[in-house]
Amino acid sequence: MNTDTRKALWNVYETHKHSLLLLYFCIYLPWFSYLERTVTTHFHVIHVPLDDYIPFCEFFIVPYLLWFAYIAVGFSYFYLRDREEYFRLCATLFTGMTVFLLVSSLYPNGHYLRPASFARDNIFVDMVRWLYATDTATNLFPSIHVYNSLMVNAAVWHSSRLREKRVVRYGSAILAASIILATMFLKQHSVFDVMTAFLMAAVMYSLVYVHNLYRFPAGAQRYRRKLKHIG
């Protein structure tokens, strides 16, 4: 391998070495998959009285499924355009997701909130049926749907690059709120799951954004200055 090739490879590594954090999913996905396979019948039932007052509404399947795009687009944007916020987002998301895995492993949990039948028959109900068939009603709290939505929205609002993008900021907040409501109106999560996700998000926001206990790598600052110069 000649010198120019080595330099080119080193430059690629220097530019994208922050992608190594994504190796976390090599831990998260197998662990979560194991929990989904093994926690099926014997679990602690999650339920609070407020759950009984929330009606089922199949139309919330739309924002619920948009969660996947919301997280992916938000994550990709910060990866490419705001490395400081990318590191903060990784710190909050991966910490919360690990807490979720530990809770689910040590305290297997689930619920019986899903409706036994549906009052209507439409494409949204069909989508809910598909969701129920592919996602078990176990491993619930703190809700990762809720927690990750809160943390991505926090990153959007905290990002200096998006400070003047009012449509993006308010659009993110509206979508995040819709996703959170969807978890309850689709009977995917108990109010308890949502509240514990809010609690964990508040703790992580305080640690990362308020007290700034997480120190992002110095290289992120240089990358940010470079992007500002380009943009």
Instruction: Please give the pLDDT value at position 18.
Output: 66
The pLDDT score that the predictor gives to residue 211 is 80
pLDDT < 70 regions, the chain: 1-18, 214-231
The pLDDT value recorded for residue 81 is 87
Q: What span, in angstroms and rounded, lies between the C-alpha atoms of 70 and 153?
A: 9
Which pLDDT score, from 0 to 100, does residue 47 have?
95
Cα–Cα distance measured from residue 190 to residue 121, given in angstroms and rounded to the nearest whole number: 24
pLDDT more than 70, % of the chain: 84
Structure tokens at 84: 């400081």
Give the torsion sign (CA, 75, 79, 81, 84).
positive
Q: Which residues pair with 138 in a beta bridge?
A: 110
Of all helices (H) and strands (E), which one includes residue 45? Answer: strand 44-45
**Confidence (pLDDT) at 21:** 77
- pLDDT score at 189: 96
pLDDT at site 217: 53
| Nearest Cα to Cα of residue 222 among 18, 10, 3, 5 | 18
